[in-house]
Homo-oligomer: A and B are copies of this chain.
Amino acid sequence: MSTARLSGFPEWLPADRIVEERVLDRLKYTFEMNGFAALHTRAVEPLSALAKDGEIDKEVFAVSRLHAEEGESVKNPLGLHFDLTVPFARYVVENAGHLAFPFKRYQIQPVWRGERPQDGRYREFVQADIDIVAEDTLADHFEVEIPLVMAQAFDALSELGVPGVRILANNRKLLEGFSRGLGLEDVTAVLRCIDKYDKIGPEKVAELLAQQAGADAAQQQQLLALAAIESSSGAFADEVTALGVEHPLLSEGLESLTRLLDAANRQQPGVVVAQLKIARGLDYYTGSVYETQLLGHESLGSVASGGRYDSLATNGKKTYPGVGMSLGVSRLMSRLVGKNRVVEASRSVPTAVLVAVTDEARREESVELARRLRARGIPTDVAPAAAKFGKQIRFADRRGIPFVWFVDGETGHEVKDIRSGEQVTADPEIWAPAEDDLWPSIRRVTQDA
């Protein structure tokens, strides 16, 4: 269950934080297995760097010293980052001399947006990003790698109760080439209209295309026909070609998207689907764009999005084109442990063994026993008070701690599995919990059953 006395700023209870930690551990493992280096950037950026992309400035939280010295906030106003891509691009440019390109990094941090909080949408939320940036030119195969690593990451999460995903792909060049081929030169306006397809439906998109991009009826029809195309194989290219629009960028985009679909189908069949209405809101994408549907939770919106950005990271002289995706950890968590909880941790503490205390004067015997178990890698805590053993057992039970250790049972050391009630003699240098009990486990919750 989450607590959010400040609307949009979720906090999890301890047992649910264990779920989140497991999610993060699996993401880290998958990303590192694939050669991505862990990176962190600071939480703040100059406002000028945050506000330059489209309408994003409306969502930014500004940061200023409460007692700023005269003129300080005016000189260099700061804001909290609203994603991890813009700070990463800035980091790459600043540190280019110390990085080896192509550079692959993952980054798991909170980001902040001043939007109205809704289901699965927060003002502070954790994102897990992977990106690859190169110097000058970025090979196309990286546009294949990114969504397939993301698919692997979701695969690694499936044991934690995360449903399967469909990664939806499109290509900005394809959309841009198609628009220009139709004679529509305000591509940004076209993208903005297409991006609303799922939200407002094709008829309203047609109206918008007329109003905002100056599209006539024929152009509207062509764009809607394009946007409706969806395919899990390279076959979509024929459908696009059949629309009879021609432009060099369209050909480039088609080729790139076909390559992605073909490679994805060979390597992880079915997980990537071409969906030509995918446009993405952010201005900086220049090639592939991706969104991700959580199967059965399509209304949640995309849980992992991104794309290729050729010109985001630049110092004017040199450019570092990149491609990446961002997984919405908090949004996933809203489904895993939210109102219709899917999973729960087997306990609310890391502790596997609680060492009972017989007498406060002999507490240090229990502390010493706990030290010995910890030295053997067993998470152990000591009872907070030398209460009656029944109360000490209830202390363990409330937290889901499976074992209680008695340092001076009738036969010396004894350990009780408080689930079965079984109590056995135990040697602190030998006894160990079952592997499943050593750390908290994550289990599915059966709702309405």
Question: A residues touching B (Cβ–Cβ < 8 Å)?
Answer: 1, 3, 5-6, 9-14, 17-18, 20-21, 32-44, 46-47, 51, 57-68, 76, 78-80, 91, 94-95, 98-100, 102-105, 110, 112, 114, 124, 134, 139, 141-142, 263, 266-267, 348-351, 360, 363-364, 367-368, 371, 374, 377, 379-381, 384-385, 395, 398-399
A-B contacts, 29 listed (Cβ < 8 Å): A3-B94, A5-B94, A6-B42, A6-B46, A10-B42, A11-B41, A11-B91, A17-B38, A17-B39, A17-B40, A33-B379, A34-B379, A34-B381, A35-B349, A35-B351, A36-B350, A37-B349, A42-B124, A43-B124, A44-B124, A47-B66, A60-B66, A62-B64, A63-B80, A65-B114, A68-B114, A100-B395, A100-B398, A267-B368
Q: Which 7 A-B pairs have the closest CB atoms?
A: A35-B381, A32-B350, A65-B114, A9-B42, A14-B37, A35-B351, A60-B66
Question: Closest CB-CB distance, A438 to chain B, in whole Å?
Answer: 11
B40 and A11 contacting across the interface, CB-CB below 8 Å: yes
A62 and B61 contacting across the interface, CB-CB below 8 Å: no
Partner of A62 from the list B60, B63, B134, B139 (CB cut-off 8 Å) is: B63
CA distance A51 to B51 in the complex (A): 29
Instruction: List B contacts of A142 (CB < 8 A).
Output: 384
B65 and A399 contacting across the interface, CB-CB below 8 Å: no
B374 and A34 contacting across the interface, CB-CB below 8 Å: yes
Question: Closest CB-CB distance, A289 to chain B, in whole Å?
Answer: 22
A98 and B1 contacting across the interface, CB-CB below 8 Å: yes
Instruction: List B contacts of A363 (CB < 8 A).
Output: 141
| Number of identical monomers bound together in the oligomeric complex | 2
Closest to A36 in B: B350
Chain A interface mostly helix, strand, loop or mixed? mixed
B364 and A266 contacting across the interface, CB-CB below 8 Å: yes
B67 and A58 contacting across the interface, CB-CB below 8 Å: yes
CA distance A350 to B28 in the complex (A): 11
Question: Closest CB-CB distance, A144 to chain B, in whole Å?
Answer: 9
Instruction: List B contacts of A103 (CB < 8 A).
Output: 14
Partner of A6 from the list B1, B44, B381 (CB cut-off 8 Å) is: B44
Closest to A377 in B: B33
B63 and A104 contacting across the interface, CB-CB below 8 Å: no
Partner of A110 from the list B43, B60, B112 (CB cut-off 8 Å) is: B43
Instruction: List B contacts of A40 (CB < 8 A).
Output: 11-12, 17, 20
Partner of A38 from the list B21, B78, B139 (CB cut-off 8 Å) is: B21
CA distance A43 to B80 in the complex (A): 11
B104 and A349 contacting across the interface, CB-CB below 8 Å: yes
Question: Closest CB-CB distance, A32 to chain B, in whole Å?
Answer: 4
CB within 8 Å for A64 and B66 given contacts A33-B379, A91-B11, A105-B14: no
* Given A35-B380, A47-B66, 18 extra CB contacts under 8 A: A3-B94, A6-B42, A6-B46, A6-B76, A6-B78, A11-B91, A13-B98, A13-B99, A17-B37, A17-B39, A18-B38, A35-B351, A36-B350, A43-B43, A59-B65, A60-B66, A63-B63, A100-B395
CA distance A443 to B72 in the complex (A): 41
Most buried by B among A91, A141, A266: A141
B350 and A37 contacting across the interface, CB-CB below 8 Å: yes
Instruction: List B contacts of A263 (CB < 8 A).
Output: 364
